[in-house]
Amino acid sequence: MNTGFWSCIIFLILFMIVGVLFAVLKEKAAQFVSGFNLLSKEEQALYDKAYISRDIRNQCFTWAVIMLIGAVLSYFFSPYMAVPAFVIWIVLFFKEVHFDTYKAFEKYLLK
């Protein structure tokens, strides 16, 4: 059993589901973004919800492509090829993590 392949496939499916969810729901999906749903309605009105949703959608699809590449490389070469895929995903994921809610959403402010 190729655990590298299957772990990449599981994450690929999860990222695709979340990406499609954000693509279909558009600005309504902004409510699912961690931290944004904690803002008051007045504060949420200051942000571009469609942009937030598009950005999360694009991130999920990018992560899905990374996991697809990891799965293909794991299947054809070595199960350990999943490790670089997960390292790349972790780096990209933590690049977008902010502990301050306002700093996390400052690029989405309406002008």
Q: What is the pLDDT of residue 96?
A: 86
Q: One digit per residue, pLDDT tens: the chain, 111 residues? A: 889 999 999 999 999 999 999 999 999 998 999 888 888 899 999 999 999 999 999 999 999 999 999 999 999 999 999 999 999 999 999 998 888 877 888 889 887
Q: State the residue for tokens 């919800």.
A: 49
Buried/exposed 66-79: b ≥16 CB within 10 Å, e otherwise: bbbbbbebbbeeeb
Q: What's the chain's Rg over C-alpha atoms? A: 16
SS3 of residue 109 by DSSP: strand
Delimit the domains of the chain by residue range.
3-108
In order of 12, 55, 96, 108, the CA distances from 104 in angstroms are: 25, 12, 8, 9
